[in-house]
Amino acid sequence: MSVKQVSNNAEVDERLAALMTNANAIRAIASAVEGTLGPKGLDTMLVDKFGDVVITNDGVTILQLMEVNHPAARMLIKTAKAQQAEIGDGTTTATVLAGSLVAEGVNHVAKGVPVSRVIEGLKAGIKNAVAVFQEHARLVKGIADPVLEKVALVAGREHGDIAELVVAAARLTGEAKLKEAGYKLSDAIRAQDGAENQVFSGVIINKKPVNEAMPKELVDALVLVVDDALEPETLDDEALGTEAGFTWYRQKQQEFVENVRKIADLGVKLVLVDRGVDDLAEEMLTDAGILVVQRVANRELKKATEHTGARAMKRTGLKRDPADLVRYLGKAGKVVVDEKLEHVRVLNGLGKPVATVLVGAATEEVVGERERIAKDAAAAVQAAIKGGLVPGGGAIELAVAREVEELRKEIRGMSAYGLDCVVAALKRPFSQIVANAGFNPLEKLGDVVAAQMEQNSDSVGIDCDTGTVADMGERGIVDPVLVKVYALKAAGEVAEAILRIDTIIKKREEHHNQQKTESGEENW
């Protein structure tokens, strides 16, 4: 690599060398996950320095756990994480597409095509491809459409039990809720070893009761949610040492006891607390037969509030008159303490329906992977309801590639090379799926393209068991169009950013300079 010294603290890679370095880093990341694509994709084992092992087929998990130092590689991983956060699925596809776009772009630049022309054609190709994807989308016919089961099965890596759970949860949640901005069905997924597969209308509080003597089951329970500590107000030791301070402290203690009595007098049976619970309050509430759970996670507390119809209050809110406090209470049809799984279930609330999927696992080692599979399936089902479906198995990408290729006739000059990058990238997922299944990608690519043109179909692909041409749509191999669109857009953004970098400069070490300044040295 040719390096130019510009100062004692900075190094600059020359243009083509920098581009090649970045491209190699992107290729390395893409190659780490591409082997997981398709029904015949294999697992990856990740091992840390302590010997702890994670075995997974999930692209984003591999990217998050692998050790990466190169800045370009980290950029690609951040893009995959963004895909996961926005859509919840398709991270491997986004990574493979980005790897192909960069590789093809670098090849053209190395042959003398200006980077600006490559990027120009690349952007035009992606814009056209996104429009074509959306044109080919088939809308889901409501929450009861049987095709959702196929979506869950494909995204859930053929785990039928998980697919059934996810679809049941989607139907329990309802179409309107699934289309709400900010709501994620994948957040409803919980996995525990030793649990039975279940879907129910309710919330899991992943804590045990404050006291073992508290009731284990409640029916038609009034619910109080305290978004605070259930403890008396405190005073610092210095103030407490004064007569006025001690008098204030005694008043607050008495006031707190009266407030706790109000909880029992109101008929509350379940109290969920954000922080800690005072020993005296614990004793009083236990004697009153009230179930109390402390230090509840904020996300669980919010779900419980929504599901039961309760309104969270601060501890000072307990000073209100009982008639006012009633308006803050929610209600649960049933509350159960699961001593085996060490959590509390709040079921059949009076508020909004909240679906929870409990995924069982035989051992602790497979819990994480079962949960990741279920979350992918849930994200795919929700994306399908929001944006519709397209054929899977890489078939739709080949059909879109043919239409994008037609655009080449309208593009003059060297921008056409950028368009070629998009065409090549769209063919990459199919080729990798076929290769992972043990077939020759070039041979099968030719067979499928010919069949698609002959049948005027966008759903013809390859049966990964037999290697024969088959209709993906008829076989129920479908993917959400939003996953495809977002993955291509994200890959395009990464490729453009990487291709634009023609200089790498090592930053000066701010920490070293700061130490010099603090030690009295001048920092010139």
Looking at residue 234, what is its pLDDT? 67
CATH architecture for segment(s) 199-361: 3-Layer(bba) Sandwich (3.50)
Q: What are the tens digits of pLDDT across the range 114-146?
A: 999 999 999 999 999 999 999 999 999 989 999
Q: Closest by alpha carbon to 416, among 124, 132, 131, 133?
A: 124
The pairing of strands 53-56 and 44-47 is antiparallel
Domain assignments of the chain as residue spans, ordered by start: 3-138+390-505, 199-361
Q: Which has more pLDDT, 248 or 522?
A: 248
Instruction: Say what the pTM is.
Output: 0.79
Looking at residue 52, what is its pLDDT? 80
Looking at residue 514, what is its pLDDT? 53
What residue type is 379 in one-letter code? A
Specify which residues 255 forms β-bridges with. Answer: none
Is residue 285's pLDDT more than 90? yes
**Residues present in the chain in total:** 524
| Residue pair 381/166 in contact by the 8 Å Cβ criterion | yes
Rounded Cα distance between 506 and 13, Å, is: 9
| CA distances to 7, 11, 341, 522 from 510, in Å | 15, 16, 49, 14
- Residues 249-253, mean pLDDT to the nearest whole number: 77
What residue type is 112 in one-letter code? G
| Residue pair 487/129 in contact by the 8 Å Cβ criterion | no
Looking at residue 523, what is its pLDDT? 41
1-15, 26-40, 177-191, 481-495: which has the minimum mean pLDDT? 1-15
Rounded Cα distance between 264 and 180, Å, is: 37
Contacts of 259 (CB under 8 A, 6+ apart): 315, 318, 319
Looking at residue 436, what is its pLDDT? 92
Is residue 504's pLDDT more than 70? no
Kindly report the average pLDDT of the chain as a whole number.
Answer: 86
Q: What are the tens digits of pLDDT across the range 41-67?
A: 888 888 887 778 877 877 778 888 888
Kindly tell me the burial class for residue 332, based on how many C-beta atoms sit within 10 Å of its own C-beta (0-12, 13-18, 19 or more). buried
Q: What are the tens digits of pLDDT across the range 433-472?
A: 999 999 999 999 999 999 999 999 999 999 999 999 999 9
Rounded Cα distance between 36 and 56, Å, is: 9
| Residue pair 400/494 in contact by the 8 Å Cβ criterion | no
Q: Which has more pLDDT, 84 or 319?
A: 319
Coil, helix or strand for 217?
strand
Angle at CA 17, nearest 5°, toward 14 and 23? 135
Contacts of 75 (CB under 8 A, 6+ apart): 494, 497, 498
Looking at residue 239, what is its pLDDT? 56
* Domain at 3-138+390-505, CATH homologous superfamily: GroEL-like equatorial domain (1.10.560.10)
DSSP code at position 277: B
- Residues 157-167, mean pLDDT to the nearest whole number: 92
| Residue pair 399/458 in contact by the 8 Å Cβ criterion | yes
Residue with the two structure tokens 């301070």: 245
